Structure 1
């Protein structure tokens, strides 16, 4: 059903004239937008052996208009066995992508590009034909979960305003079915959104709905003004197509205001026309700009995103096309302007996507190219009508990823950008190519990167969690830096590393004590930082051979302490070897409690015990 609100235009590019007497009935259904009946009629021609390239293309376009991607791709494959227009190859590629067949889609895009080399979609494809892997790598910005107020009918276009959800649906089974897809006509609905996230009291907005299609809608910040799309038939505005026995209306935009809790009469906006459609409104938070989709003159493609100023006296400016940074020769629709009045979200089938319609984001102030939001916002199917309420920190998107147009909840993932700048603690000089790791609150390493020429590494982490940064570089003492919990934004860590300054005598290398936890032999983070200094000395003096002696305190039996100290000595040696030092250059020996640093016997304090649990490094050669 969302295709109605891309615009009231034929998505197929075939002639309205029947090809021959055999296809006359099927073509009539097609031209009257009765696609279910059209598909059945064309299939009968196939069954009776009366199909050719024209019938296959019409059948493919029929399924394309109903977004039956499997059947559309099947019949486009047959249609393209004979020569077709460029747009047919583009639609075929879209249907293949919608089924996850990206390599096959690229082949059809190449055919499209050959036939329409000046089309911006073709140019974009040629510049980066293998863009799909990059879309999979887009940082995950949102969590998506199924909405709780969907039905087995089409539900889409949800927007949250002052704890009220407004959306569009075909759930009203008392309504007449529409020939496009045999579902009832669209109505506007309203529901209550509770603070616990539940949605209740879903109800039809009867005072706004007509007997034709109505919705989607957008509301002013105070909730007292509503803009919505509806058929021009509600004002008896249409053109007659006598040949096909049709009354051809357009999508129009309407406005209504609330008085004493009730919506007043809806009035048509002054820039509506019988010559083109206007739909999918989105009003800026300050109420000064209305964004919408239209195929009015000046559009770059089938349907584009436009904007118009809303003046204080209720009048409107001249509609403006948002240009090539947003629009393409394909279809762009379902705009949503964020609360900041500068971030625009919209759906596009013309920009590089995963398949069908994808949701994009554009910064209107910067005027840069719109970016694809990636998964899980986008899928291989149609994804559209993205809205987000910053105050409630919840949004909605619509998608047929499960086979039917449904509304999904969108929850923003809170991220913190941790920017680490590594410098020399003594001189302040930048330390390029330093190793920078980020660790979770349990000291598990999440990722490790090498600093750029500015000594910088950036990580994106979750909000409201503690992290730490571990920075290291040859010739400097490794050090860790705490990253405090944050609610978002950027946290900058100044990682100043001390140059290694180790005392080397004729008999030993003097480091700070390599302490161990009581009754353990694993290397601690503090111990590792100190042992890195030893590694640097050994790398700088290739002839040095070292004996690591490990000692315990006097608690426990002599035999146990000797075994424990031996494990500590070997753990110390193994750490140094793991950093690239040859195995023959360092050995370890456990001394137990035989050589205490402080001979305190049975009256040792905890500090004295800790001093005795140590390692020493003697120069053997």
Structure 2
């Protein structure tokens, strides 16, 4: 009860505060009511300077800038207004201004707050369905956090397959094994570790002798139900080996095995028919549907040392014929440690593709039967040492990579990874030229927007007329180009998996927009029942501003029109508000107010005379502004 009384008191005091300044705000309010937002903003700012501002003034000041699309000032004053009043609509507008200014994380935070306050609002529902819709600024750099794991030993530890609450690793830490001549460390065994609630792990437990032998065992993978384990084992166990014809020393290969779960243990260990004494098969990875197994092998007719292969897993558990993934994946070097993730991305290690040194981790994907470009996963996953045995949960963005880089505990260590940014990216190169001469245009501003129209980043073209951007694969983008003396353009760029996309953009001289009696801009459309300037409207109006700056004698009358929905009198008032807001935007860009007037025409002059049977597209065509040349036409000079 006490909390309710306090709340009522706060509401009353807040209401009093919002109305107590009406005498002081009378002049500013009058300008605001007349849609004279520049003058209104000046008067509200004077109140701020005089110490007479409250939440009402801050919000009105922000709304003034919002209506003329001055996003920086609108953001500033909405933030101030929200210091003392958490009004949902103000929060929403604040989020939009943050987004317009490229502050995507802050915008999302405000939208989350808005959605919690108005969960039934369509805007809130759309946001909750896709809260990460805002684009990230994607540049080359670190895509992951990498951290050495506390369970690493002084010897080789690698792998990291998580299944049914247990982490499976391969390690040489078993001191009861005899050492292996390659690195004078014990033969490799498979261990499991149980994760604690605080993220640490319990001591590693050696799997029983049904899996581990006195020889090498390697990385494991599982069927989707977790009841079948695939792993590699040295062929010495099967007494299969060859003798070197010169040294007479025995050498073995690696064979592929499977085991079936039996209670808490593993049993029924079997090899596969494709195993051979003449080549190795290792590093298995099973697809999320359990139908395909990927592995590395140096079997004949490959492209280099070890290649990446795949084979079908038949219903009876046997494997189909191995299929080499081809020369796009495999090189003359070594390709090993394939890992096929839940979303079909193939990760593997190679020293044949261009990398930082040693084995690097790469990734690709099969799309419509074709392998997408091979991409280096970048630092810090990769280093100038060997980086391998990459595993990633695509849903959580967490996984493991192994490396023998400097600073580790042993010869090979396991590192935890956390994905920070999307992996796949595309280089977009925009080349801006004069449409008549073909010459490159230097110092043109090129802005990258996402497909929702949100600004990502702006760059200026160099002397070659080019500007470059890095975006996520398969994401649609829009390039917005502007330069003095030329008509601005917007060019859609379709999302792709290609590594590079070249976008030629030829611009017409700005004079192309000038007709005998009007400026022929693309129509300035308004949202239904709204009169504030949108980002698309601002893009077109900036062309008008550019023309009026170039031709200072030009005088314009902006006419605004509505669709036929609503009464004629209401539509006349709505179109008048739109005309005045349009005029205010142009004035806010430095055009003298004597050079532009505005008039609302309501529904009296439809562009499409469709009466009461208009489609939504036809209604939008009728919701427009047009720009009539009153005097000073360049064509008349």
After TM superposition, the score normalised by the length of structure 2 is: 0.48
TM-score by length of 1: 0.49
